[in-house]
């Protein structure tokens, strides 16, 4: 995880990151436009973007699509109780293999909250999600789980790195 | 509304990941899709304007940039207090996703911040609200999957 910490990023790198996390110019030569804004050459911009993609600093490069508009109207966080530490990785990796599981993490248990595997799943509707979860339970042998449906989205943004200094948190 | 135009669907499937990093990325992609560069650019601009594409750019790995993250769950016993608590959370730019959920813990949000100290500070301020009865700080201890692409689907359900 130490391939490229924040410490090794120059001011120019940070300025480029600020631009890349906004919208790429939808133009024939988008990287040349970005280079112009930063006073860099197009090749200098391309070299950095390629390197960050290779290193995993950029996790994904492309369009973010509103999934509600392309057919997946239901999503749900499902939390699973897997007590045996040896089982946690096996089940986590098993769930990760499900196409419609987009996120899978292990998190700590808390008082009155024994769940430690978290999956985000997507489907057409609630029935579809119920079927998917039943399948995951059967495949993993984990019977203690809970569907935690979202009923309202209060915020959904992309993180703006190196620009949260203006935080209004008084 | 949903997308039904076959070319738009092919474009959406193609532009969600591995966008070409070269001088004329749209020309390269257009070749793969066997359409003209101008047509592809026009369709992408239109999908962006319609809001089907929410953003077109890079998604960074927060940890590789030196940031830390967590998932926080709050218990807000009176439902009428939820809008106020949600607004208090949303004031922080570090709070990237915030959902009301059907559970005793009924407000769940992700935090991405420069330090664990900053995360602790935000959580303790939110937890000190009179309308909040309980709080869980749930940092990821192991990651098995962050969004593989399944087509077409949004990504940013919340990386934390």
Are B42 and B70 in a shared domain?
Answer: no
Name the CATH topology of A10-55: Arc Repressor Mutant, subunit A (1.10.10)
Q: How many domains does chain B have?
A: 2
In this predicted structure, what is the pLDDT of residue A95?
97
Are B27 and B71 in a shared domain?
Answer: no
Q: Is the pLDDT of residue B1 over 80?
A: no
What does the pLDDT look like over B40-64, one tens digit per residue?
999 999 999 998 898 899 989 999 9
**Domain span at B31:** 6-50
The shortest CB-CB distance from B60 to any of A17, A105, A150 is to A17
At residue B68 the predicted structure's pLDDT band, cuts being 50, 70 and 90, is: very high
Interface with A, mutate which of B95, B99, B105 (most A CBs under 10 A): B99
Are B68 and B133 in a shared domain?
Answer: yes
In this predicted structure, what is the pLDDT of residue B93?
94
Nearest CA in chain A to B146: A103
What does the pLDDT look like over A57-103, one tens digit per residue?
998 899 988 765 556 678 899 999 999 999 999 999 999 999 899 89
Shortest alpha-carbon distance between residue B66 and chain A (Å): 5
Residue A48 CA to residue A53 CA, distance in Å, equals: 9
Determine the average pLDDT of the residues in B90-108: 96
The answer to whether position B160 is within a domain reads no
In this predicted structure, what is the pLDDT of residue B160?
63
Taking the alpha carbons of A34, A40, A46, A49 in that order, is the dihedral positive or negative?
A: negative
Are B29 and B71 in a shared domain?
Answer: no
Percent of chain A with pLDDT over 90: 69
In this predicted structure, what is the pLDDT of residue A1?
42
From the candidate CATH numbers 2.30.110.10, 1.10.3470.10, 3.30.70.3460, 3.30.70.20, the one assigned to the domain spanning A67-149: 3.30.70.3460
Cβ proximity of B89 and A154 under 8 Å: yes
What does the pLDDT look like over A118-142, one tens digit per residue?
999 988 889 999 999 999 999 999 9
The answer to whether position B33 is within a domain reads yes
The answer to whether position B106 is within a domain reads yes
At residue B159 the predicted structure's pLDDT band, cuts being 50, 70 and 90, is: low
The answer to whether position B35 is within a domain reads yes
Are B69 and B28 in a shared domain?
Answer: no
Q: Do B100 and A160 touch (CB under 8 A)?
A: no
Nearest to A21 by CA among B120, B46, B112: B112
């Amino acid at each position: 995880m130490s391939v490229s910490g924040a410490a090794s990023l120059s001011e120019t790198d940070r300025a480029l990151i600020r631009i890349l996390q906004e919208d790429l110019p939808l133009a024939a030569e988008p990287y040349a436009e970005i280079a112009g804004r930063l006073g860099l050459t197009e090749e200098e911009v391309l070299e950095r973007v390629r390197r960050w993609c290779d290193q995993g600093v950029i996790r994904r490069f492309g369009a973010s699509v509103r999934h509600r508009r392309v057919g997946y109207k239901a999503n749900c966080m499902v939390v699973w109780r897997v007590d045996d530490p040896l089982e946690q990785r096996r089940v986590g990796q098993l769930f990760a293999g499900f196409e419609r599981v987009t996120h899978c993490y292990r998190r700590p248990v808390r008082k009155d909250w024994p769940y430690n595997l978290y999956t985000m799943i997507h489907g057409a509707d609630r029935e579809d999600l119920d079927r998917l979860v039943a399948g995951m339970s059967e495949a993993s042998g984990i019977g203690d789980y809970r569907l935690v449906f979202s009923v309202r989205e209060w915020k959904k943004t992309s993180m703006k790195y190196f620009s949260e200094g203006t935080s209004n948190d008084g | 509304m949903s997308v039904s135009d076959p070319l738009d669907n092919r474009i959406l499937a193609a532009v969600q990941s591995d966008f070409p990093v070269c001088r004329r990325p749209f020309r390269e992609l257009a070749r793969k899709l066997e359409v003209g560069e101008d047509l592809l650019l026009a369709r992408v601009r239109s999908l962006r304007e319609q809001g089907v594409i929410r953003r077109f750019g890079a998604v960074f790995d927060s940890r590789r940039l030196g940031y830390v993250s967590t998932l926080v769950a709050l218990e807000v016993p009176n439902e009428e207090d939820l809008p106020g608590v949600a607004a208090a959370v949303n004031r922080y730019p570090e709070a990237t996703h915030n959902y009301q959920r059907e559970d005793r813990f009924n407000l769940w949000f992700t935090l991405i911040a420069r330090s664990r100290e900053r995360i602790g500070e935000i959580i303790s301020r939110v937890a000190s609200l009179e309308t909040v009865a309980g709080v869980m700080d749930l940092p990821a201890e192991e990651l098995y999957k962050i969004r593989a692409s399944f087509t077409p689907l949004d990504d940013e359900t919340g990386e934390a």
